[in-house]
Amino acid sequence: DQQVKQNSPSLSVQEGRISILNCDYTNSMFDYFLWYKKYPAEGPTFLISISSIKDKNEDGRFTVFLNKSAKHLSLHIVPSQPGDSAVYFCAATNRDDKIIFGKGTRLHILP
């Protein structure tokens, strides 16, 4: 059973617009959430995280929103740039346990 779900395998967004990537989780014990970005032929890199005690965390063009009651988080990228084209993985953990990854969403930024 998938504990972390990214239901959109791919997403295309015009350059300059907002990209919104979604993630749902089922395990209510998760209390820390992360987003990773992955380019082809490279390993994933950490992008941004959020603790369950917050509902928003912002870092430059990237903002993560957490809705605990809906067990849903989203990553907003504003404005989207060509270099944002990559696969984005949502991940969740209860900090001292293993981290669980979603299947990823491939983001295409269109010129």
Partner 1 sequence: NAGVTQTPKFQVLKTGQSMTLQCAQDMNHNSMYWYRQDPGMGLRLIYYSASEGTTDKGEVPNGYNVSRLNKREFSLRLESAAPSQTSVYFCASSERVSVWETQYFGPGTRLLVL
Binding site for partner 1 (CB under 8 A): 4, 6, 9, 32, 34, 41-46, 49, 89, 91, 93, 95-104
Q: How far is the CB of 4 from partner 1 (least distance, A)?
A: 8
Q: How far is the CB of 14 from partner 1 (least distance, A)?
A: 26
Collapsing DSSP states into helix, strand and coil, what is residue 83?
helix
Contact 15, 82 (CB under 8 A): yes
Residue with smaller CB distance to partner 1, 32 or 62: 32
Q: How far is the CB of 89 from partner 1 (least distance, A)?
A: 6
- Between CA 50 and CA 99, with CA 39 as vertex, the angle to 5 degrees is 35
Residue with smaller CB distance to partner 1, 72 or 79: 72
Residue with smaller CB distance to partner 1, 9 or 16: 9
Both tokens assigned to 35? 């987003």
Distance of alpha carbon 55 from alpha carbon 101, whole angstroms: 20
